[in-house]
């Protein structure tokens, strides 16, 4: 992925193409074939589902909390301008500096500039969900800054030479401990060659390495889950403690957060802090909750920068679907219950994040003109499990259907109709008239019976071949239901 301006919310409206990526069905193939990934995803999503259910079950007022969360997020997004202005004022008064980034490129440029201005050639990063969205690591590398990711998942991805993980919440579960041990021995500085593959030893090896990095860091780049407008307080939830270290130890702290992370007051935060950890990991509270307000002489960073990232968000807020989707507080509960995600992981959804809400947000913010983004709303069976668990009650299946509508409308405007459009139109034309429908029933049954053997159809041409690749289709009986009905002795005739 590149951190250029082509990754951006307004890209679709300004005509620039978003960063290239494969269609979901294509990208999913690699994940589906990765047997260890499949096993790990199954185990971890299953465990997270069970944990979430138990944590939610403890509360008698979960549905009321969800409703309160929805209302808070709705109000916040509806009056986002006012809350952001208040946030800027509060942060500034508390000694921080606020920077506005209209798109990914500007955010990357701002962060890079702030790091290089310190004169240090290194920075640690911790819990920056927007890292891939803005191309943070590429931009830092280009500026000659060495970045040290301190999230376990990112450290592992980095050691492995891959991209930063697309999922905000889950730790490094995409690799089992045998693979982790092998990777650590090969690539983690100071890892002993006889490192055992038990979880405690692996965690200790990673911790020893990361602690050295964090203790010597002068500059840190972090994210924020919430920003309280009233007081200018930044809030970071994590489970590894590297975030806590990163926001307290280095002299300069640069926080990058989407403008949608603003929360009006601490009372609102209280509700969201009950919803998020239970939904994300099944914890009553995240193991590390850091809150910090501006700078305090002699305690923590002496310089605080807050980079507020728009990158298509405010444009997406223009319609109802966008406001609903941006209620998301990034808990990933929708991903953990998603049967598609359980089999593909987050990678095929692209850099903005995986799971059902990723399938909504990426095409929503980046547009549906290119085939890959247009494929994301279709990466769901619309089973509805996600809507049941969303802590801020986003009706994800409804949003996916709306986005599918957007995809189809954009294709209708093209000079050459897609084969699917022709097929759908002809199906609708057939269904619009009883005579045509009945003729189609008869001829369809005739053709299908010709293709069948022993009462089943084993192979069909064209798009339907995707069905018969792995599944039979029953041969249609000679007589349709309505043919039988017409021939009934008792109720012969049409009514």
Binding site for another protein (CB under 8 A): 24-25, 28-29, 32, 339-340, 343-344, 375, 377-385, 387-388, 398, 401-409, 420-421, 424-425, 427-428, 430-432, 434, 437, 441, 444-445, 456, 458, 463-464, 466-467, 469-474, 476-477, 479-485, 491, 494-495
Report yes or no: 128 and 238 within 8 Å, Cβ to Cβ.
no
DSSP state of 299: B
Closest distance to another protein from the beta carbon of 486 (Å) = 8
Report yes or no: 253 and 247 within 8 Å, Cβ to Cβ.
yes
Dihedral (Cα; 65, 71, 74, 80), 10-degree rounding: -100
Q: Please, which residues bridge with residue 233 across strands?
A: 228, 293
Report yes or no: 307 and 111 within 8 Å, Cβ to Cβ.
yes
Query: Cα–Cα distances in Å, from 190 out to 64, 113, 156, 186, 205?
Result: 50, 32, 15, 10, 8
Decide whether 284 or 412 has the Cβ nearer to another protein: 412
User: Collapsing DSSP states into helix, strand and coil, what is residue 458?
Assistant: coil
Closest distance to another protein from the beta carbon of 431 (Å) = 4
Decide whether 40 or 310 has the Cβ nearer to another protein: 40
Decide whether 286 or 380 has the Cβ nearer to another protein: 380
Closest distance to another protein from the beta carbon of 412 (Å) = 9
Closest distance to another protein from the beta carbon of 429 (Å) = 9
Decide whether 31 or 219 has the Cβ nearer to another protein: 31
Closest distance to another protein from the beta carbon of 443 (Å) = 11
Decide whether 26 or 215 has the Cβ nearer to another protein: 26
Closest distance to another protein from the beta carbon of 366 (Å) = 17
Decide whether 297 or 462 has the Cβ nearer to another protein: 462
Closest distance to another protein from the beta carbon of 210 (Å) = 35
SS (H, E, C) 420-434: HHHHHHHHHHHHCCH
Q: Where are the alpha helices (DSSP H) in 118-194?
A: 131-134, 136-142, 152-159, 177-187
> Counting Cβ atoms within 10 Å, is residue 136 exposed (0-12), middle (13-18) or buried (19+)?
buried
Decide whether 189 or 339 has the Cβ nearer to another protein: 339
Other C-beta atoms within 10 Å of 206: how many? 22
Tell me the two tokens of residue 69: 């969360």
Decide whether 129 or 377 has the Cβ nearer to another protein: 377
Closest distance to another protein from the beta carbon of 330 (Å) = 23
Closest distance to another protein from the beta carbon of 166 (Å) = 17
Report yes or no: 227 and 261 within 8 Å, Cβ to Cβ.
yes
The dihedral sign for the CA sequence 240, 245, 248, 252: negative
Report yes or no: 355 and 421 within 8 Å, Cβ to Cβ.
no
Q: Where are the alpha helices (DSSP H) in 143-255?
A: 152-159, 177-187, 199-216, 242-248
Decide whether 305 or 402 has the Cβ nearer to another protein: 402
Tell me the two tokens of residue 409: 């409308």
């Amino acid at each position: 992925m590149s951190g250029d301006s082509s990754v951006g919310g307004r890209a679709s409206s300004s005509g620039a193409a978003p960063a290239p990526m494969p269609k979901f069905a294509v990208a999913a193939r690699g994940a589906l074939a990765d047997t260890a990934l499949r096993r790990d995803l199954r185990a971890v999503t299953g465990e997270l589902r069970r944990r979430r259910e138990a944590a939610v079950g403890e509360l008698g007022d979960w549905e009321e909390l969800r409703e309160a969360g929805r209302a808070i997020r709705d109000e916040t997004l509806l009056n986002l301008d006012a809350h952001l202005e208040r946030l800027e004022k509060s942060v500034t008064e508390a000694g921080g500096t606020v920077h506005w980034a209209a798109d990914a490129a500007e955010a990357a440029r701002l962060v890079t500039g702030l790091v290089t201005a310190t004169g240090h050639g290194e920075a640690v990063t911790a819990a920056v969900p927007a890292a891939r969205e803005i191309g943070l690591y590429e931009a830092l590398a280009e500026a000659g800054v060495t970045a040290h990711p301190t999230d376990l998942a990112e450290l592992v991805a980095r050691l492995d030479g891959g991209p930063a993980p697309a999922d905000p919440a889950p730790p490094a579960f995409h690799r089992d401990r045998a693979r982790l041990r092998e990777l650590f021995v090969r690539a983690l500085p100071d890892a002993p060659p006889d490192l055992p593959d038990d979880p405690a030893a692996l965690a200790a090896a990673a911790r020893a390495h990361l602690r050295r990095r964090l203790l010597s860091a002068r500059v840190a780049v972090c994210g924020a889950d919430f920003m309280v407008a009233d007081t200018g307080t930044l809030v970071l939830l994590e489970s590894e403690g590297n975030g806590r270290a990163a926001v307290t130890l280095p002299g300069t702290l640069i926080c990058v957060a989407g403008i949608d992370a603003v929360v009006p007051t601490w009372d609102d935060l209280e509700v969201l802090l009950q919803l998020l950890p239970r939904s994300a990991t099944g914890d009553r509270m995240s193991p590390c909750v850091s809150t910090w307000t501006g700078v305090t002489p002699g305690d923590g960073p002496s310089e605080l920068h807050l980079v507020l990232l728009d990158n298509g968000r405010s444009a997406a807020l223009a319609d109802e679907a966008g406001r609903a989707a941006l209620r998301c507080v990034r808990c990933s509960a929708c991903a953990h219950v998603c049967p598609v995600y359980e089999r593909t992981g987050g990678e095929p959804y692209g850099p903005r994040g995986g799971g059902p809400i990723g399938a909504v947000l990426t095409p929503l913010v980046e547009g549906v003109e290119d085939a890959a983004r247009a494929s994301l709303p279709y990466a769901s069976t619309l089973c509805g499990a996600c809507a049941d668990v969303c802590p801020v009650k986003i009706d994800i299946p409804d949003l996916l259907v709306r986005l599918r509508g957007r995809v189809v409308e954009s294709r209708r405007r093209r000079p050459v109709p897609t084969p699917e459009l022709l097929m759908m139109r002809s199906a609708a034309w057939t269904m619009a008239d009883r005579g045509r429908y009945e003729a189609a029933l008869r001829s369809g049954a005739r053709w299908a019976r010709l293709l069948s053997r022993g009462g089943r159809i084993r192979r069909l041409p064209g798009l339907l071949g995707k069905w018969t690749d792995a599944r039979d289709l029953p041969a249609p009986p000679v007589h349709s239901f309505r043919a039988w009905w017409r021939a009934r002795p008792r109720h012969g005739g049409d009514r």
